[in-house]
Amino acid sequence: QVQLVESGGGLVQAGGSLRLSCAASRTIFTIDPMGWYRQAPGKQRELVATITSGGNTNYADSIKGRCTISRDNAKNTIILQVNSLTPEDTGVYSCWGKWFKYDYWGQGTQVTVSS
């Protein structure tokens, strides 16, 4: 079993930045890959970014260039940094990880970008 706990959401002004953290209940070397998804109001959940245990990253085209995903192996945490926020970045951001063949999700954290 894996528990993923997100933190760092909230209300942000357009043009600002956000930093989200996802803490795992076990070593993230065994949770591979990990990443972030988001769901905007009235829309389907979409990929934001993923990162493998080897540090390989993948970003959605809509956020590429404004976003960085990273791992802190010592803290069993992944971090998502998003800059130049727009109201279109508003949504519930959820941490995801694959442990063996199972998918695990955090409870999600709300991010609201005001114009």
- Position 76 scores a pLDDT of 95
Burial (CB count within 10 angstroms: exposed 0-12, middle 13-18, buried 19+), residue 94: buried
C-alpha span between 115 and 113 (Å, rounded): 7
pLDDT for 47 equals: 97
Residue 15: the pLDDT is 97
What is the model's pLDDT at position 66? Answer: 96
Residue range 12-16: mean pLDDT, rounded? 97
Beta strands 109-114 and 91-99 are: antiparallel
Q: What is the pLDDT of residue 59?
A: 97
98: CB partners within 8 A, 6+ apart: 31, 32, 33, 34, 104
What pLDDT is recorded for position 70? 97
Residue 29 token pair: 């070397």
**Which residue type, as a one-letter code, is found at position 77?**
T
pLDDT in tens, 39-96: 999 999 999 999 999 999 999 998 999 999 999 999 999 999 999 999 999 999 999 9
The one-letter code for the residue type at 98 is K
